[in-house]
Amino acid sequence: MRAMVLKAVGAPLALEDLPLPTPGPGEVLLKVEACGVCRTDQHIADGELPPPRLPLVLGHQVVGRAVALGEGVEGVSLGQRLGAGWLGGACGTCKYCRRGQENLCRQAAFTGYHRDGGYAEYLVARAAFAYPLPEEWPPEALAPWLCAGLIGYRAYRLVQDRQVLGFYGFGAAAHLLLQVAKHQGKRVYAFVRPGDEAAKGFALELGAAWAGDSTEAPPEPLEGALLFAPVGALVPKALADTEPGGVVVLAGIHMSPIPEMPYRLLWEERVLRSVANLTREDARAFLEIAPQVPVRAAVETFPLEEANRALEALRQGRLRGAAVLLP
Ligand SMILES: [Zn+2]
Ligand SMILES: [Zn+2]
């Protein structure tokens, strides 16, 4: 099968012909229909998030069809459309797994990180960690749901009871979550890279109540803030934009250093917290609400072979919405 392989950190992915993987017990072989390109993939390729092994196939927003089942797989039929996301497996027995925090499991295996991912024609996923997806949608429309949507939704759930929200960084996750927030009657203010008029226009088109540079103050104090941009300098800014008792959620897996800040920005019971990975419960909840909204991803598709071009577009902030690879 063709795959785009990371062989060295900082090097472009290489197109290779790999043997077709075989599903082991509890696993399913998926023929990839589409795979989203995530900021995390870029962090792994660039070494900000060091890959646990090389060579490695990236990609954890995979829409595929089951074409072979390993021993003991139940509840999956051949030909069924399934999604494979970042959480590729968890131990099920540790204290985190037992208390509903499998996202923090120390034995968790992440797709496109510990397990080979979807920048390929096929991948093997654990059936218990693959999600049934709607059959009638085009695959490229669903791929961004699987990380931008799922992990974005985990972050969003932490501020869900708030009505006035700020989204910092208006990329793949923000443009999906804005649609959910609008559907739930919330007001969203979008902060973009200073001077990025295209991103402002995009946010306003999707229903943001206001869009401005990340250096600007919002029209009113925020009740909740979601930081999607991997920019530590935005942390004190988001706290300053947030009212007493407000929540600032850091949604990324990697962020540049957070600058020193005065305690008064955090005081008055503002809450600052990160989000790591996702649980299957987050996935279930998002996949239930997304078709109802319905969450429509703006995508730019690239042939699998052009994964490097897609990553470069992401690096340079040139994407409108999400990049998706089609094998
Ligand atoms: Zn565990
Ligand atoms: Zn991701």
Residue 257 has pLDDT above 90, yes or no: yes
Coil, strand or helix at 40: helix
82 and 67 Cβ atoms separated by less than 8 Å = no
Counting residues of the chain whose pLDDT is more than 70, the rounded percentage is 100
**Which ligand approaches the C-alpha of residue 101 most closely?**
1
The DSSP letter of residue 175 is: H
Other CB atoms within 10 A of residue 221 CB: 14
**Mean pLDDT computed over 56-85:** 97
CA of 89 from ligand 1 middle (Å) equals 9
| Whether the predicted pLDDT of 160 surpasses 80 | no
185: Cβ contacts below 8 Å, ≥ 6 apart: 163
For residue 234, name the pLDDT band (cuts at 50, 70, 90).
very high
pLDDT in tens, 168-219: 999 889 999 999 999 999 999 999 999 999 999 999 999 999 999 999 999 9
pLDDT at 121 over 80: yes
**Boundaries of every domain in the chain:** 2-144+297-326, 151-274
Distance from Cα 87 to the centre of ligand 1, integer Å? 12
Q: Could you please report the per-residue DSSP string of 250-319?
A: E--S--PPPPP--GGGTTTT-EEEE--S--HHHHHHHHHHTTTTT----EEEEEGGGHHHHHHHHHTT--
Q: Tell me how far the alpha carbon of residue 152 lies from the centroid of ligand 2, in angstroms.
A: 9
Report how far ligand 2's centroid is from the alpha carbon of 208 (Å).
23
**pLDDT at 319 (0 to 100):** 85
- In this prediction, residue 178 carries a pLDDT of 97
151-274 maps to which CATH number? 3.40.50.720
Q: What is the pTM of this model?
A: 0.93
Cα(229) to centroid of ligand 1, in Å? Answer: 29
Over residues 259-305, the pLDDT tens digits come to 999 999 999 999 999 999 999 999 999 999 999 999 999 999 999 99
Q: Nearest bound ligand to CA 91? A: 1
C-alpha of residue 278 to centroid of ligand 1, in Å:
13
Q: Per this entry, what is the length of the chain?
A: 327
CATH of domain 2-144+297-326: 3.90.180.10
Average pLDDT, the chain: 96
Q: Is the dihedral of CA 261, 263, 265, 269 positive or negative?
A: positive
Burial of 75: CB neighbours in 10 Å, binned 0-12, 13-18, 19+: exposed
Is there a common fold for 2-144+297-326 and 151-274? no
Q: Please classify residue 164 by burial: count the beta carbons closer than 10 Å to its beta carbon, then call 0-12 exposed, 13-18 middle and 19+ buried.
A: buried
Q: Which ligand is nearest to the CA of 39?
A: 2
